Structure 1
Amino acid sequence: MGGYSIDDFKKLIVSKFESLRLHFKESDVVESLLLLMFCRWQYGILMDEQSSREGGRLISLRDVVQRVAEEDGSSVFKGYFLKALQKNDLTMASDSKGGRLLVELWDELVRLSFNDQSEEGSLGECFEWLLSFFAEENMGRGGYFFTPSGIVSLIVKILDPKPGEKIYDPACGSGEFLVEAINYVRRTSPDGELSILGREMSPSVAFVAKTNVLIHGVVRNCIEVKSFLSGDGYNAKVSGRFDLAVANPPFSLRNWDGGESGEFLRYGVPPQASADFAFIQNLLFSLNDEGRAAIIVPMGVLFRGGSEKTIREKMLRENNVEAILSIPSMSFYGTAIPANILFLRSRCASGEVLFIDASSFFIKSQRLNRLDVDAVERLFCLYSDRKDVEGVARCVSIAELEANGWDLTVSKYVVPAPSVSNESLAFLTEQQNKLEQELSFLQQEMRRLLSSL
């Protein structure tokens, strides 16, 4: 990084973050840092343009803001950016301690000479780290906006995006799936690119996703501010148009508007108490004939009855479900409940569903269980081989699933092998905590279902 490294960037952010949150609300600190990173990207563009002309001059933050104000683009993004920058500008212009800290941070960011995207220490890599840092610092808040990197890497590796393909995320959060897919294609094909479409209903969150993809060199207008489940223009812009689709949507979203989603609710309308199967159908019917998708869902999606069971049955009879991978509790920011990844296809070649219990692949931690690079590779091999492995993976026929009432709970088909050794007290305590968390989740599901009757 021209005398710097990504570690220098990390130290700068950590030191300023700790100081800034003594003077501002955490949400304001996060907003300020994200805005300054966007400005640093724009600053680099202006510097490149100036270097090609004679008579260059010093570029200020005010020049950057002016450039954004003059550019064509989405009025939603521009409006959010300028409003937020105006608030920060007033702070930076003041003689307050917080204002001086922000000015110092901007001056440091300008001095950092970030590498190209293909090299370590790029602005894109630093921005990705910044998002993960925010997620770590805000445990319990905003968890659905950022998915841990190990899980993102696993999903993208299994989906295996190819150059020239199109990828869709209707609840893109900070854009981490889209960016990892972009990075994956560039690693496997240096000249390869993806066509992407991400949607978010919050302008502030959509701004983060837009900044993320822009910093990674995707200059097309590919992030939209749109309701998660809006059917507006779905058939014209989304239906059957994508090679890949992926999402980590809000779990069991209540009181969603099914009337706006009719264009993709082709297998049935989910209950108003849970939009999970609305998200699933939104992804599924975005795929072309060879399309594949992955979506992270809560446990209830696998076994709930009523209209959700009917939708699940149709998906299985149409060979849309390729695999289900269970994830242990404490593996996502902002929620302790266990989850599952559904891998979907327009039509699977096999008449079986692969079930994988991934709990033993995670590195256990009191704060967040994680998948490392080795675990991602081993799970990818399990998925690719589609072989029965005792206590870990099993392929199950549609006939057996029908006999079990279309219940897709992974533990019903994959039972961990019993241990013959004496378990330690720490292990037994961990298992007890896991069972208590799962019981708590099931109790919440029961209360939610009863309240919706």
Structure 2
Amino acid sequence: MSTTLNNFLWVSANILRGKMDTIECRNYLLGFIFYKYLSDLELHEVYAREKDTVAVFSGRKKQLEILDKMNKEDRRKLEETMCLKHGYFIKPRHLFYSICQRAAYDNFKLFELQEAFKDLEQQGEQFKGLFADIDLETAKRSADEQQFQEMIVRFIQELADIDFFVYGRDAIGDAYEYLIGQFAAEAGKKVSEFYTPKSVSRVISEIASLGQESKAPFHIYDPTMGSGSLMLSIRHFIYDREKIYYHGQELNSATYNLARMNLILHGVDRGRTHLKNVGTLDSNWSAEAPEQFDAVVMNPPYSAKWSADGKFLKDARFTPYKKLAPKSKADFAFLLHGFYHLKETGTMGIILPHGVLFRGGAERIIRKTLLEKGAIDAIIGLPANILYATSIPTVIIILKKNRDTSDVLFIDASNDFEKQKNQNKLRTRDIEKIITTYRKRENVKKYAYLANFKEIESNDFNLNISRYVHTFEEEEPIDIIKLSEEISVLNQEINKMEQEQQLILEQLASDSDSSGIMEAANRIFRE
């Protein structure tokens, strides 16, 4: 059923695709879907309260009639009721259904929709600036305003026919993530860092939850959260998902808005979210919220530049390592930031390029310190072209605090995947193989190796997976006696053919008076 919803929504996007660039199309589609969801939720909510029963699909026209009646009788009470339960109230004329009705009779202008968005944005911090990336005002001033308005009308009418509440809350949130993934696949390498594929998210989330499944409350933190999908994946592995608290940072405002919408559509109430539209390295997580978390998950921008200012050596996140990540490669800066905010009993999973495993200089010193602490628990090599942001192979590094060992489990999962048209994908069996191997923590020929600290030290703290997991195929030993016999047989065959050749040439010479025939025939055989 969720597949049907995914298809409906993706088809509706075709009205916008090709007329906008990928990112603008994404912002419009996901923003409109979110607004429609809130509008329809309000209609269902007031219908349920009026009928004193669970809301069922009775037709939006009937629901709107009930809402109008309640609004006229006691608007203040209606507004307080909605705000208390959901944190917002959309005026009847601003509801998605109402706008669609007016559009059907050519009685609608773009400014009404912009006005509706602005009205919602003013209803609390969780909605502030949420629709900033949907700029209807600029379109209104453009030369082809009428054409643009007609496109928007067709789009909202296409969405109007979809009833989210037939599918259920999980399906709505999953459909939203599906669309984010579709746009990530289309956006290209430079602008698709906002989404981590579900298969990779599952690997990190399942490992991060091991031994913590029944913990409540459970606090998860993603310092580079993008659309929030990696962080949300944890809900599949924690028993009481209503006790999960989500904390995240995101520098890009458009992506930050995606994450806020994503969490709301997955039923995460505002009391369990703490998201910030700020950078990670320059804006450390503040003391006003929990400073350490049960799980830290990250998919930061790879080998990004950062200031590496000397002041960071006095920062508690970096001080113990005596060196800073290079200016040209902030990979370890992100890793150390996340590790600092991990609880003593927690688990961290971060996706990074292979270079962090073996590069020298400051990165070697940081890596050595982490290994001496026993902080690096496992390294999982992923297939190439598995992420939207890059086609290069990457690794998942699992970190823990206060381990009673300093060994490291190496898993080479780079050869297990399904090759698709534009992207490789981890299959269910590939994921389960990784998780099972991680749990058992045993050597698996050509797949996994548990290295002790002395072995890693002897390799000068180089963690290149190929040093520990040997996947090459050994050549079969050559049987010299058999080979000699085969050569002997071949030589006999060659001698036989040469004798036959000579007989043919002699026959040709005897049958002809021309002395040139013998010479020509010999030349032919030589060639």
Pairwise same-fold verdict (TM > 0.5): yes
User: 1:73: how far off?
Assistant: 0.7
Distance 1:236 1:46, change over 3 A: closer
How far residue 238 of structure 1 moved from its aligned partner, in angstroms, is: 5.3
Residue in 1 that maps onto 2:123: 71
2:40 is aligned with 1:29 = no
CA drift at 1:207: 0.4
1:44 and 2:46 are equivalent in the alignment:
no
2:219 equivalent to 1:166: yes
Gaps of 5+ in 2: 51-64, 69-91, 100-112, 477-527
2:151 pairs, out of 101, 114, 123, with 101
Instruction: Confirm or deny that 1:319 pairs with 2:315.
Output: no
Partners of 1:15 and 1:233 in 2: how far apart?
A: 40
Distance 1:99 1:353 in 2: 58
Contact 2:133 2:254 in 1 (8 A): no
Partner of 2:513: none
Alignment of 1:43-442 (within 5 A): 43-51=39-47, 52-53=49-50, 55-57=66-68, 59=95, 60=98, 62=113, 64-65=116-117, 67-73=119-125, 78-79=128-129, 81-82=131-132, 84=134, 86-87=136-137, 90=140, 96-115=146-165, 122-160=171-209, 162=213, 163-185=216-238, 188-189=239-240, 192-220=242-270, 221-232=273-284, 234=286, 237=289, 239=291, 241-258=292-309, 261=312, 262-266=315-319, 267=321, 268-365=323-420, 367-418=422-473
Superposed CA offset, 1:306-328 (max 9, x none): 11111111111111010000112
State the distance in 2 between where 1:343 and 1:269 align: 21
CA distance in 2 between partners of 1:281 and 1:116 (Å): 45
What whole-Å deviation, never above 9, does each CA across 1:360-388 have from its counterpart, x for those lacking one? 22123452111111211111000000000
Q: Deviations over 1:202-229 (max 9, x none)?
A: 1111001111111111122422111121
Alpha-carbon spacing, 1:23–1:255, altered in 2? closer, same or farther (3 Å): same
* Cα gap change, 1:359 to 1:349, in 2 (>3 Å): same
Between Structure 1 and Structure 2, whose CA radius of gyration is higher? 2
> Matches of 1:260 and 1:182 in 2, distance apart?
38
- 1:45 shift after superposition: 3.3
* CA pair 400-118 structure 1, distance change in 2 beyond 3 A: farther
**Cα deviation code 1:285-313 (max 9, x no counterpart):** 10111111000011110011111111111
CA contact (8 A) 2:416 2:426 kept: yes
Contact 1:16 1:101 in 2 (8 A): no
The Cα shift of 1:42 comes to: 1.8
Q: Which amino acid aligns with 1:112?
A: I
Deviations 1:102-150 (A, max 9, x none): 3233233333222488666x21011011111111222324232111111
1:81 shift after superposition = 1.7
Separation in 2, partners of 1:88, 1:40: 22
The corresponding residue for 1:445 is none
How far apart are 1:231 and its partner, in Å?
Answer: 4.4
Paired residue secondary structure (1:317): helix
| AA matched with 1:198 | G
TM-score, structure 2 normalization: 0.72
- Tell whether the 8 Å contact from 2:169 to 2:267 is kept in structure 1 after alignment: no
TM-score, normalisation: structure 1? 0.83
**Percent same amino acid at aligned positions?**
26
Give secondary structure in 2 for the equivalent of 1:414.
coil
Within the candidate set 15, 19, 27, 2:11 is matched to 15
Q: Does the residue aligned with 2:193 lie in a helix, a strand or coil? A: helix
Structure 1 range deviating more: 168-177 or 191-200: 191-200
Structure 1 portions without partners, runs of 5+: 422-453
Structure 1: how far apart are the matches of 2:459 and 2:236? Answer: 41
Question: In 1, are the aligned partners of 2:304 and 2:331 still within 8 Å (CA)?
Answer: yes
**Cα distance in 2 for residues equivalent to 1:243 and 1:153:** 17
- 1:334–1:287: structure 2 CA closer, same or farther, 3 Å change rule? closer
Residues in 2 aligned to 1:286 and 1:130: alpha-carbon distance in whole angstroms: 31
